[in-house]
Amino acid sequence: MAEQAERKIPVRAAAVARLSGLLRLGPFLAVMGPGIITGVVDDDATGIAGYALAGARFGYSLLWVLLLTIVALAVVQEMAARMGAITGKGLAALIRERFGVRTTALAMVTLLVANVATTVAEFAGVAGASEIFGVSRYITVPIAAVLVFLVVVYGSYRRVEVVLLTVSLVFVSYIITGFMAKPDWGAVGGHFVVPSFHFTLPYLTILIGVIGTTIAPWMQFYLQSSVVDKGLGEREYRLERLDVYVGSFFTSFIAFFIIVTTAATLFVHGKPADSVTDVAQILRPLAGDFAARLFAIGLLNASLMAAVVLPLSTAYAVCEAFGWERSVNRPLREAPAFFGLFAALIGVGAAAVLIPGVPLLTLLFLPNVVGGILLPVILVLMLMLVNDRKIMGSWVNSPLQNVIARLTTGLLVALSVIYLIIAILEGVGVLTG
């Protein structure tokens, strides 16, 4: 009996340890959502197009950028989450209160330009994915638009969050395709840690696009507003910070495998792709039909998720800027401007993709470059807000956070200036691509 009792003690201890672990995990599971959803949706249709182009046209040589963007993304996203948790206000509301109407109008124009283009791109992703399976965009795009509208208008924040977190599991498909492509892992590792750079317009376009899709203007507005909408405050901040870091890691992790997949297939075999449909079709003989289908499923899933979040981020920001009622938890009659703007963006996005002959790849990639060029405007405003002790009190940025955020802003400004100079020089014939 004594021996049996002794054997039961380790079993009980293990059970207690497991229960203790679950109890510690419980608070995080309650808080998680805003950071992970923002990070996952960052790998949207424009992101997939940008990463796929990076791999298809430059192989593994742009993998090193992901090391920089994961750190920069985590710092920028953490700032947005912290401001939401500490102030209880969205980014647009803080900009209006701190800088006034003119600066707020500039920020809103910046956001609208980037978000309208990106919302169009999400429905382009729906069209591209459906056409891979032989289904016309004229069927799938309207259905997707109606579905997205109904999910948000007739759901609460929590329900929308659960739906988005659940469908985010589909992104595992890109990890699978990465291994199915059978890349040269030695080359992958070398390019991941050793930077390379080329002063050509195509290279800079893709480089700015990769950065622009990884750290996009909409993300800061959506994340901060969703933290507020979920009711997270100072007590939940540390767990929300973990949520942000997990989301930032997931963004770059999936991006890594998308670049690896297209580099190991399209680039290695010299197969150019003129559309997202081409990417999946070319994958069939190179990595198998299953890989091509997984790529298409991931694209469709990413597009639908982002078609929910992008219009939401715009509606949150614009309504905050003008002091209008905004919340997914409100019924339609109590927040008509919020849901009206959300519906308008969905309508514009879907309608643009249904124009005959519209080039899907251009629609998918252009927002990345636009976002990369416009992002410094938002980052400068965020840095001024998060370092204002009247707003944040003792929760202002640390010196290290300021260094990383300012370097990110400076890098984007420098790349944008270089890009415009090279574009002008090539336009007048001084340089050739």
DSSP state string for 327-382: -TTS-GGG-HHHHHHHHHHHHHHHHHHTSTT--HHHHHHHHHHHHHHHHHHHHHHH
Identify the band that residue 430 occupies on the pLDDT scale cut at 50, 70 and 90.
low
Of 192, 198, 167, nearest in space to 257 by CA: 192
CATH number of the domain that 78 lies in? 1.20.1740.10
Identify the band that residue 391 occupies on the pLDDT scale cut at 50, 70 and 90.
very high
Residue 101's CB is within 10 A of a number of other CB atoms, namely 10
Residues 4-29 have a mean pLDDT of 47
pLDDT in the model for residue 63: 92
Higher pLDDT, 52 or 275: 52
Contact 125, 299 (CB under 8 A): yes
Residue-wise pLDDT tens digits, 98-108? 888 888 888 88
The residue behind tokens 């893709």 is 206
How much of the chain, in percent, has pLDDT values that exceed 90? 10
pLDDT in the model for residue 202: 79
Residue-wise pLDDT tens digits, 320-368? 877 787 666 677 777 788 888 888 889 988 888 888 876 665 566 566 5
* Residue 344 falls inside a structural domain: yes
* Residue 143 falls inside a structural domain: yes
| Nearby residues of 396 by Cβ (< 8 Å), 6 or more positions away | 386, 387, 388, 389
Identify the band that residue 17 occupies on the pLDDT scale cut at 50, 70 and 90.
very low
Most confident of 111-120, 179-188, 224-233: 179-188
Above 50 in pLDDT, residue 46? yes
pLDDT in the model for residue 360: 61
Most confident of 142-156, 263-277, 284-298: 142-156
What average pLDDT does the chain have? 77
Q: Rounded CA gap, 26 and 107, in Å?
A: 37
pLDDT in the model for residue 75: 87
Q: Rounded CA gap, 38 and 183, in Å?
A: 29
Residue-wise pLDDT tens digits, 193-241? 888 877 777 787 788 777 767 777 778 888 888 888 787 888 888 888 8
pLDDT in the model for residue 93: 86
Residues 29-54 have a mean pLDDT of 73
* Helix pair angle (91-99, 101-132), 10° resolution: 160
Above 70 in pLDDT, residue 179? yes
Q: Rounded CA gap, 314 and 323, in Å?
A: 14
Q: Rounded CA gap, 220 and 17, in Å?
A: 38
Contact 295, 174 (CB under 8 A): yes
pLDDT in the model for residue 268: 77
How much of the chain, in percent, has pLDDT values that exceed 70? 75
Q: What's the pTM?
A: 0.75
pLDDT in the model for residue 396: 92
* Residue 136 falls inside a structural domain: yes
* Residue 5 falls inside a structural domain: no
pLDDT in the model for residue 185: 92
* Residue 18 falls inside a structural domain: no
pLDDT in the model for residue 349: 86
Residues 21-41 have a mean pLDDT of 61
* Residue 17 falls inside a structural domain: no
Structural domain including 330 reads 32-427
Identify the band that residue 11 occupies on the pLDDT scale cut at 50, 70 and 90.
very low
Q: Rounded CA gap, 427 and 246, in Å?
A: 43
Q: Which of 114-128, 141-155, 282-296, 401-415 has the lowest mean pLDDT?
A: 282-296
pLDDT in the model for residue 272: 64
Above 70 in pLDDT, residue 147? yes
Identify the band that residue 370 occupies on the pLDDT scale cut at 50, 70 and 90.
low
> Which backbone phi and psi does 345 adopt, to 5 degrees?
-65, -40
* Residue 342 falls inside a structural domain: yes
* Residue 44 falls inside a structural domain: yes
| Nearby residues of 378 by Cβ (< 8 Å), 6 or more positions away | 107, 110, 111, 217, 220
Identify the band that residue 54 occupies on the pLDDT scale cut at 50, 70 and 90.
confident
Q: Considering its fold, how many domains does the chain have in total? A: 1
Q: How many CA atoms lie less than 13 Å away from 309 in the CB half-sphere? A: 36
pLDDT in the model for residue 286: 56
Q: Rounded CA gap, 297 and 246, in Å?
A: 23
pLDDT in the model for residue 19: 38
Above 60 in pLDDT, residue 388? yes
pLDDT in the model for residue 167: 66
Q: Rounded CA gap, 252 and 401, in Å?
A: 20
Residue-wise pLDDT tens digits, 65-92? 898 888 888 888 899 999 999 998 888 8
Of 281, 283, 250, 290, nearest in space to 264 by CA: 283
pLDDT in the model for residue 432: 56
Above 80 in pLDDT, residue 416? no
